[in-house]
Structure 1
Amino acid sequence: MTITATAPRAAAYRGKLRWWTELPLIAVVYGLYSGARLLVRGDVDDAVDTGADILHFEQLTHLDPERWFNHLFTEHAFLGVPADFAYASLHYIVTPSILVWLWLRRPTHYRQARTWLLISTLIGLIGFTLVPTAPPRLLPGAHGFIDTMAQYGSYGWWGTDASAPRGLGHLTNQYAAMPSLHVGWSLWCGIMLFRYGRNVVVRTLGVLYPLTTALVVMGTANHYLMDAAAGVATMGVGFLLAAPALRLVDRVQARVTGAIAARRGKSGGQTVVASNVANGANAAGGAKVANGANGANGAGGAKVPSPRTVPVPDDADRDPGAPGGNAAGRGERSRMS
């Protein structure tokens, strides 16, 4: 005999997820992300020194391709303009779209993937707070980087302050280069597409998207190679922490649910006991009355007279000629006469 196990139906599992709890959760984490970039600006001089140190380390190890990509994008507008559009928009579009796709088509994997993304984003916030870093485009001119977002600003909605729309540059923290969540989020999206995609095109996009994003962030002079590597490491740590975090959440939810159920069961049990006692008393009383009545009928065969029953006169008081009179009485009277 062969025993097969089937996965839970997607519709049944989706019933455990609530969009009115998912959307606020994601909104809160994204709000923290944006708020941290805004509030934790760090010291500009320290951020510039950190960026210069990262670039110097890359030059010593001969792992500094960002300058070559930056020159390529600034010299060829057909590369620089699409790269600027990709940097300014894709992470706002692709990442939420993947979340919605998982919710609708892969609900059994959504919770794990969402938790992975959220934890990694929180780790990125810690990096922004502890290591404020100036991107290559904000290093002194001697380093030779050109801000392609400013160069091709007339093609898009952004100004000279990263990818923020014109006039809103004060709402972003430009010294939050380490780690690169552009790369981290794109890696998460690529893994989701490659793992859960059902055709070659989707899986190919899953491979190309994070690679293209890494080239874009370096070519636009917004991140170093080390930032991209830190973004990958951030997603790795988030992946390792996702499963324990979910187990902890499930354990807490189980305890809270059990406590609530026990409290409801205790109050409900008291009501049920009281109701059963009352019902038992009524049933016992009814049984006693019924048994008493049946016993009386069985013993004497006579009915218990009701208060409205008229007493029947004795034979001595009856008229001998009346119907139903006693025969013995009539005979006695005839002999006397």
Structure 2
Amino acid sequence: MPQTETPDIEAASRARLRWWTELPLILLVYACYSAGRLLARGDVSSAVDHGLTILRVEKFLHINAEHPLNRLFTREAWLGIPADFWYASLHYLVTPAILIWLFRSRSAHYRAARTWLMTSTFIGLIGFTLLPTCPPRLLSAGHGFVDTMAQYSSYGWWGGEASAPRGMGGMTNQYAAMPSLHVGWALWCGVMLWRHGRTPAAKAAGVIYPLVTTIVVMGTANHYFLDAVAGAAVMGVGFLLAPLVNRAADHAKAAFADRSGSVPSISGVAPVSEVSAVSEASAVSRVSGTSGGSSPSAAPGDARAPIVSGGCQTSTGERIPRQRDARFGSGAEPSASPTDAGDGAPAPAR
């Protein structure tokens, strides 16, 4: 069954998260991702050797699915062109769209999901640095791959250097193939849609999107099958580490608040002053909200006992049923007026 959040949880999560703090954080992580891809270029010959090693392992295990897919996308333009658009755009559109959707509609789950994505991305950057890998499309023609991005470049904004716009190929690292964060991010999006989507269409998209992305990255010769497997593994490790990262962030916030002399509100727990104010308000409401409409007697010696109807006055001659009358103690309404004997005639003078 789809998971739902109560309004109280949603409101508490929204109170702790603000878009003007989340947006710079996400932009910082993406800048690190882009810079890491550029800095981790590595040696081209080493990258080619790593790519050939992966290809040999796949052939030995008979899992080199990228070969038949690449031949199909090269031969059938009606498949190859949409696949190139898919590869060049959705990676940068769907992921932020899912983040915004979680922030606005599933805020109780947003922080954990965001931390999972960012932790996995940093792990991927480590992989780019330690294992620069030449993608299939950059291997020599004798290995049987065709660069569909270059073949169909006239249909899109990209040139012959990955999915970067024409003239900006130098701003991307073409040897950052292992692991495939295209597949990793798509898997994250699929899990979010499956877990938090409330319609069958959303859950179906959660299954289709990562599967199609995996086929696309292999068919366009941008990744090996093992790159896709590594991308999924990176997301798994990031999922396990995300709770630890969140706890470390909470401890860091608490330590910073202690040094600055303020009382933090962690995990939705209100500060002591707010709890005291709520308790005091509850006590006042219990004193003034007695049953039967009668107010409690003032404590001995207390000249300022709380008055239920303080500030509320009636017009001359107007009486409210069972209203307390100063002339008759705190009992019920008198049965007759002191000037009325019950028959409408004035009472005899005493």
In structure 1, the residue matched to 2:80 is 80
Rounded to whole Å, the distance in 1 between the matches of 2:227 and 2:104 is 33
Q: Aligned ranges for residues 147-158 of structure 1 at < 5 Å?
A: 147-158=147-158
Match of 2:216 in 1: 216
What count of residue pairs does the alignment treat as equivalent? Answer: 259
Identity over aligned pairs, percent: 62
Matched ranges for 1:124-203 at <5 A: 124-203=124-203
Q: Which residue of 1 aligns with 2:89?
A: 89
Identify unmatched segments of 5+ residues in structure 2: 264-350
Aligned equivalents of 2:226, 2:6: Cα separation in 1: 44
Amino acid at match of 2:37: R
In structure 2, how many angstroms separate the alpha carbons of the residues matched to 1:70 and 1:206? 25
3-state SS of 1:8 partner: helix
Find the counterpart in structure 2 of residue 111 from structure 1: 111
Distance 1:105 1:261 in 2: 34
**CA 262–11 in structure 1, closer or farther in 2 if over 3 Å, else same:** closer
Deviation at 1:258, TM superposition (A): 2.5
Where in structure 2 are the equivalents of 1:238-253 lying within 5 Å? 238-253=238-253
For residue 24 of structure 1, report the CA deviation from its aligned partner. 1.0
What is the aligned partner in structure 1 of residue 325 from structure 2? none
Structure 1 residues not aligned, in runs of 5+: 264-337
Relative distance call for 1:109 and 1:38 in structure 2 (3 A) is same
Please tell me whether residue 229 in structure 1 is matched to residue 229 in structure 2. Answer: yes
Identify the structure with the greater helix proportion.
1
Q: Which range moves more in the overlay, 17-26 or 62-71? A: 17-26
Given residue 78 of structure 2, which amino acid in structure 1 is its aligned partner?
F
d(CA) in 1 for partners of 2:86, 2:61? 29
1:29-77 deviation digits (Å, cap 9, x = unpaired): 1111111111221110110010000000000010100000000000000
Whole-Å Cα distance in 2 between the matches of residues 81 and 6 of structure 1?
44
SS at match of 1:15: helix
Q: Which residue of 2 aligns with 1:38?
A: 38
TM-superposed deviation, 1:8: 3.3
- How far did residue 260 of structure 1 move? 2.3
CA distance in 2, matches of 1:260, 1:166: 50
Give the Cα–Cα distance (whole angstroms) in 2 for the partners of residues 226 and 118 of structure 1: 22
In 2, the alpha carbon distance for the partners of 1:80 and 1:21 equals 40
In structure 1, what is the Cα distance between the partners aligned to 2:52 and 2:8? 52
| Shift, 1:254, TM fit | 1.4
* CA root-mean-square deviation: 1.4
Task: Tell me the distance in 2 between the aligned counterparts of 1:12 and 1:252.
Answer: 20
Q: What letter matches 2:212 in structure 1?
A: T
1:206 counterpart residue number: 206
- Deviation of 1:7 after TM superposition, in Å, equals 7.2
Within 1, Cα distance between the matches of 2:256 and 2:74?
A: 57
Cα 1:12–1:33 change in 2 (3 A) is same
- Looking at structure 2, the residues matched to 112 and 187 of structure 1 have their Cα atoms a distance apart, in angstroms, of 16
**Which TM-score applies when normalising by structure 1?**
0.75
* Structure-1 separation of matches of 2:207 and 2:39: 34
Q: Secondary structure in 2 aligned to 1:126? A: helix
Moved more, 21-30 or 174-183: 21-30
Residue equivalent to 1:25:
25
Which amino acid in structure 2 is aligned with residue 88 of structure 1?
A: A
- Residues 94, 77 of structure 1: CA spacing in aligned structure 2 closer, same or farther, 3 A cutoff? same
Report the alpha carbon displacement of residue 140 of structure 1 after superposing the two structures with TM: 1.1
Distance (Å, rounded) in 2 between the aligned partners of 1:242 and 1:8: 24
- Name the residue aligned to 2:123: 123
